[in-house]
Structure 1
């Protein structure tokens, strides 16, 4: 059984939220953008790893974290559960997702009651204030090699990445989720001015009898 929870057409295209129940009673929420499958919560391990792996590489407390892309809320929720986090700013381009979050429809973030959480509508590239955050997490698209929105390409280019890393305080971490391992993106991160310890974590996930390799790419600002 599949039920449409919401559908909105806006300046960035159509966004639809679906919920389906499998034969075993498992409930799955699915996000579709312009008719293209964007994500679901069959397995949320890599979205959560984006947060936990980045935060594990940062020392200290009272951490400020910027999350680019709300999705179904799993990355933001993982940040809020981590010790030492004082502020979480989530920037989301699609107003509909913010409305569905407020209505409690996002499974990863069913409540917005945490006072540390701030949901902001807009383009995350406009939130890259210099030296503002300890951690910047980007999951605005499927990565540089399979974009849902072509307009996101600039975020994965050298200048976009430099601005993202510039928003990280010295010693902080920039982390990016990708639907596939991307040696090209890893090379760009390693070549950024002020970048150290660039790495790519390949995260295999089994779905429907197949193994998919997702990736989290991380770089520290020295």
Structure 2
């Protein structure tokens, strides 16, 4: 069930409940006359519209490694910034966005998230309302990029069931649905040697990128872990 609150200046603007818990979209100030949207899941900060550099970098890091990134899977719609960066690349022909929270898709479609309608109106986008574990397990197509920003990383899980995303069995399935030369990129809120090792076990060479960010006036580090499906 989803509920919208009409035009508040500051505070909660939308809330939804699902079997996974509570999803809340809030507005906060970021300076005189400036507002930021913030997404929280079960009370845990997930992302906002102020610091979006690593969401875009998740896409950019993978896109630059593939000559013809025609078909892309984005695991996690969030507030749309990874998908937006993918769509900015004219080589991309199809983007499948897998999002488990139906309410979040609705907020992006109906303008509760103001930039959402323009992103989802792109004819290349197809939304799949499903768990990413199931969507990848049941995939019948292959892709050039798989981008995963589903949780806060293996060390800061919002939903315990998402632990499987970072384990070798699922990472192997991601490799299976990648075309030769395709790339898997995973976002994490912290350095995870276990994730790096699991991806190395499946893919061989792995590149871990560290990104400095300013999160609500606090310096933090976010991580992208990138691997390519090599042949031979």
TM-score normalised by the shorter chain: which range applies? over 0.9
Q: CA deviation at 1:209?
A: 4.2
**Aligned equivalent of 2:134:** 126
8 Å Cα contact 1:68-1:91 kept in structure 2: yes
Q: 2:192 aligns with which of 167, 182, 206?
A: 182
**Aligned equivalent of 2:76:** 69
1:100 aligned to 2:107? Answer: yes
Look up the SS of the partner of 1:78 in the other structure: helix
The 5 Å alignment of 1:1-222 reads 1-60=9-68, 63-107=70-114, 109-111=116-118, 112-128=120-136, 129=139, 132-192=142-202, 195-222=203-230
Q: Distance in 2 between matches of 1:179 and 1:133?
A: 25
8 Å Cα contact 2:107-2:116 kept in structure 1: no
CA RMSD of aligned residues (A): 1.6
TM-score normalised to structure 1 length: 0.93
Look up the SS of the partner of 1:53 in the other structure: helix
Q: Go from structure 1 to structure 2 and tell me whether the alpha carbon gap of 1:130 and 1:216 turns closer, same or farther (over 3 Å shift).
A: farther
TM-score normalised to structure 2 length: 0.89
Look up the SS of the partner of 1:18 in the other structure: strand
Q: Distance in 2 between matches of 1:209 and 1:93?
A: 30
Between 202-211 and 116-125, report the one with greater CA deviation: 202-211
Q: CA deviation at 1:87?
A: 0.3
Q: CA deviation at 1:127?
A: 2.2
Q: Distance in 2 between matches of 1:113 and 1:220?
A: 30
Look up the SS of the partner of 2:66 in the other structure: coil
Task: Give ranges in structure 2 of 5+ residues lacking alignment.
Answer: 1-8
8 Å Cα contact 2:108-2:115 kept in structure 1: no
8 Å Cα contact 1:180-1:215 kept in structure 2: yes
Q: Distance in 2 between matches of 1:177 and 1:201?
A: 10
